[in-house]
Amino acid sequence: MAEFTLFNAPQSTCSQRVRYVLHAKGLPFEEIRLDLFAGDQLKPDYLALNPNGVVPTLKDGETAIIDSAVIMEYLDEAYPGAGLTPENPVARARMRSMMRFIDEVPTPAVRVPSYNLAFLPHFQSMTEAEFQALCDSKPLRREFLMKMGRTGFPKAEMDEAMGRLRRGVERMAGWLEASGGPWLMGSRLTLADIAIMPVIVRLEDIGLHRLWEDHPKVGDWLDAIAATPAYGATFYHGALLTEKYPGLAARIKAAEAG
């Protein structure tokens, strides 16, 4: 049995989907939790594993695998027990096209309301020079943080992100309708379900579950995946933003009232 080490962060959506795959496949792993605000992901030892300076990174023995989508597919190809990928090439291609859409549209979009609601107070406590230094230290997230600034993403950015999230939910609802559920591709849970799972969980956590009020199949899907054994192991206490930041629930209510 290979020895896995997962470098990740509890609240990171990309980390959550890799944790789920490991648990779903019954692959024991050592979890090393990085403090992203402390800059653990930018330390030389970690950058030697992942030059992008983001989480997660999976070590399979001495081999480091980076990028959550790549890690998920690697795990299912290298350790096919409890397979999460269709055997049929056409179905496999359809699953991968779903994953690409998920990674292009809703996954980056959910970061915008997440940062505005949960992380902005941390950045506001910095001086302008400290914030600029932080932005400059991020290999992949510099431009994203610069757009946000120390005052948060402007309305135009928020509106664009919400539009992308709505499209993501609508596309997901269409997949469920076409497949008959309970999963995106029908009776079998696949990597596509796991790819979008943290986005839907995050939206519910930050009070944006209204996005699927007109799409009840998405709510049913969330209930179904929350009932799987791997879900509880993945979303341990502290993995949700509202658990990590006790004052977040009040900010969510204030944002809804505003």
Question: Is the per-residue pLDDT at 186 higher than 80?
Answer: yes
What is the per-residue pLDDT for 10?
98
Question: Is the per-residue pLDDT at 150 higher than 70?
Answer: yes
Residues 72 and 107 in one domain: no
What is the per-residue pLDDT for 41?
94
Range of weakest confidence among 15-19, 82-86, 101-105, 230-234:
82-86
Which CATH number belongs to the domain containing residue 168 in this structure? 1.20.1050.10
Packing angle of the helix pair 191-205, 155-179 (nearest 10 deg): 130
Residues 44 and 142 in one domain: no
Rounded to whole angstroms, how far apart are CA atoms 81 and 79?
6
The fraction of the chain above a pLDDT of 70, given in percent, is 98
- Over the stretch 210-240, which tens digit does the pLDDT of each residue have? 999 999 999 999 999 999 999 999 999 999 9
Packing angle of the helix pair 216-226, 155-179 (nearest 10 deg): 80
Residues 152 and 102 in one domain: yes
The fraction of the chain above a pLDDT of 90, given in percent, is 78
Residues 27 and 51 in one domain: yes
Strand 29-33 to 4-8 pairing? parallel
Question: Is the per-residue pLDDT at 43 higher than 80?
Answer: yes
Question: Is the per-residue pLDDT at 151 higher than 70?
Answer: yes
Choosing from 25, 47, 78, the residue where a domain stops is: 78
Mean per-residue pLDDT, 88-107: 98
Residues 8 and 136 in one domain: no
Which CATH number belongs to the domain containing residue 29 in this structure? 3.40.30.10
What percentage of the chain's residues is helix, strand, coil (to nearest 5)?
60, 10, 30
Question: Is the per-residue pLDDT at 197 higher than 90?
Answer: yes
Instruction: Flag whether 151 is in a domain.
Output: yes
What is the per-residue pLDDT for 246?
80
Instruction: Flag whether 165 is in a domain.
Output: yes
Residues 196 and 223 in one domain: yes
Residues 26 and 124 in one domain: no
> What value does the mean pLDDT of the chain take?
94
Query: Would you say 50 and 32 are in contact if contact means Cβ atoms under 8 Å apart?
Result: no
Enclosing domain of residue 51: 4-78
Choosing from 20, 49, 78, the residue where a domain stops is: 78
Question: Is the per-residue pLDDT at 183 higher than 90?
Answer: yes
Question: Is the per-residue pLDDT at 1 higher than 60?
Answer: no
Count of CB atoms situated within 10 Å of the CB of 49: 15
Count of CB atoms situated within 10 Å of the CB of 243: 16
Instruction: Flag whether 246 is in a domain.
Output: yes
What is the per-residue pLDDT for 111?
96
Instruction: Flag whether 147 is in a domain.
Output: yes
Q: What pTM did the predictor assign? A: 0.94
Instruction: Flag whether 163 is in a domain.
Output: yes
Choosing from 54, 78, 102, the residue where a domain stops is: 78
Instruction: Flag whether 83 is in a domain.
Output: no
How does residue 167 score in pLDDT terms, banded at 50, 70 and 90?
very high
Instruction: Flag whether 84 is in a domain.
Output: no
Question: Is the per-residue pLDDT at 255 higher than 80?
Answer: no
Instruction: Flag whether 148 is in a domain.
Output: yes
Residues 120 and 19 in one domain: no
Helices and strands, number each (H, E), in the chain? 15, 4
What is the per-residue pLDDT for 217?
98
Residues 218 and 138 in one domain: yes
Count of CB atoms situated within 10 Å of the CB of 246: 8
Residues 113 and 230 in one domain: yes
Domain total in the chain: 2
Question: Is the per-residue pLDDT at 57 higher than 60?
Answer: yes
Residues 37 and 60 in one domain: yes
What is the per-residue pLDDT for 229?
97
What is the per-residue pLDDT for 2?
59
Packing angle of the helix pair 191-205, 89-104 (nearest 10 deg): 30
Going across the sheet that includes 57-60, the strands are 29-33, 4-8, 57-60, 63-66
Range of weakest confidence among 9-13, 113-117, 227-231:
113-117
Residues 128 and 197 in one domain: yes
